Amino acid sequence: MSRVMTWIATIVLLIAAGIVSASAPAEDAEADPFFVTGKIGEPVTGRDIVATVTDARTTTLLTAADGWRSEANWLVVDLEAASVTGPLLADITGAVSLHGAVFVLDGREFRASERMDSLFGQRLNPGVPYAGALAFELSELAGTGVLQLSLTSDRRVDSVLEVPIDLDEREPADELAMPETAWAR
């Protein structure tokens, strides 16, 4: 082989190695969740969760039915949620619940508030969705964030529903009451 051919082969192999190296997935990519992205108002379906965000509201004073109230920057996400394959009858082993609810804003992961009754942690049934709301206590009501819903807070190798929510276009209400969880239909 001529010297020129050697050089060409070397460069070709180096480029090929670079492409392989650059396109290789990250080491922990095998545990990545499966993101399913949707919009407000349309159902988003994952492996065992289907949810429809019906509205997203902001307020600086949130109240709940039991007299609880809090003055802070609150995002209230109204949604309907159901499981897809979960057991219909109460069955402890197969029960699935909405335990993963995160609002990612500006690189921070805010967890749905556990301070009042909400859909957070609600057991889900297939076919018949629950309607209710999730509340997020945020540092500020500005920017665009992403709502992420999953069955468990451990989101490895399972569906995560994503719905972007723009906070800038929402005028914070003086006061909002947390809607109670009920059957959607």
Interface map 61-100 toward other proteins (x if CB under 8 A): -------x-x-x----------------------------
Residues 37-66 touching other proteins, rule: CB under 8 A, are none
Can residue 154 be called a binding residue for other proteins (CB under 8 A)? yes
Using CB under 8 A, which of 61, 111, 170, 184 touches other proteins?
Answer: 111
Can residue 139 be called a binding residue for other proteins (CB under 8 A)? yes
Can residue 31 be called a binding residue for other proteins (CB under 8 A)? yes
Can residue 33 be called a binding residue for other proteins (CB under 8 A)? yes
The full 3-state SS of the chain, as one line of letters, equals CCHHHHHHHHHHHHHHHHHHHHHCCCCCHHHCCEEEECCCCCEEECCCCEEEEEEEEEEEEEECCCCCEEEEEEEEEEEEEEECCCCCCCCHHHCEECCEEEEEECCEEEECCCCCCCCCCCEECECCCEEEEEEEEECCCCCEEEEEEECCCCCCCCEEEEEEEECCCCCCECCEECCCCEECC
Sole window of 2-10, 78-86, 88-96, 107-115 interacting with other proteins (rule: CB under 8 A): 107-115
Which residues of this chain interact with other proteins, rule CB under 8 A? 28, 31-33, 68, 70, 72, 102, 107-111, 113-115, 137-139, 154-156
